[in-house]
Amino acid sequence: MQIVTRTDRPDLNDTAAAVFKERWPEFIFHDETPKKYLSRVLEHFSHFDILVLDQEAVVAGGWGVPIAWNGEAGDLPSGYDEALVRDVQGREADIPATTLSFMAVAVGSAQDKRGLATVVLRELTQRAQEAGLAHVIAPLRPTWKHRCPTVPMGEYAAWTRADGLSIDPWIRTHQRMGARILGPAPTSMVIEGSVAEWEEWTGMVFPVTREYVVPDALDLVAIDRETDRGVYVEQNLWVQHR
């Protein structure tokens, strides 16, 4: 296997995008914050945007952003969106970064059980160390949380198996690498759209004003027919790696 950055291999962008897209629900791609900041992240921090190749095929990838964080839970961003904002605004204000925040990791659906997510996480961690960053954190989107969207993230994160590890496969992956749970990222992503847009994104019908369980959503989606708006506030889970 070979590890490259997207900047090294721009010819692989479309293939890489397909690998990432197949792992997340459509509504995730309609968060407005990344649309405002991602181009600057890619411009300034391409070293932390990597692809794993197996004989020229993209099999996995991941990226992170360097941010300023003092190591205290109270100084954590509220989640994914705010980490992006802190990254870009900190760089443009010449605020020294202390921390790498993993933002996303994806493995091709045909590549499961090969340990490729761990390969990506270890490579990004090594790059953080080489850059002199003192901390590595991540706002996780737990794999099985969508199965119980009414359960608060803090409660879900406390559910463990007999061996003491989380019931959730993605949280366990990080725990096995030595990560510890810091706490919920309470407003990690905020996604808004019209009722028609939410029906298109989800393939559902929302006939009345109320909160709905939506496939692959970690929390409930609030639909308001009177104002023609749907709002989804997703909680994630902050963890810190050694």
Q: What is the pLDDT along the chain (242 residues), one digit of tens a residue?
A: 899 998 888 888 888 888 778 779 999 999 999 999 988 888 888 899 999 999 888 899 999 999 999 999 999 999 999 999 999 999 999 999 999 999 999 887 766 778 899 999 999 999 999 999 999 999 999 999 999 999 999 999 999 999 999 999 999 999 999 999 999 999 999 999 999 999 999 999 999 999 999 999 999 999 999 999 999 999 999 999 98
pTM of the model as a whole:
0.93
- In 3-state terms, what secondary structure has residue 128? helix
Instruction: Give me the phi and psi of 72, to 5 degrees please.
Output: -100, 145
Question: Which CATH number does 2-241 carry?
Answer: 3.40.630.30
3-state secondary structure of 217: coil
Amino acid at 123: E
Would you say 80 and 30 are in contact if contact means Cβ atoms under 8 Å apart? no
Residue 5 — left, alpha, or beta (φ > 0 → left; ψ -120 to 50 → alpha)? beta
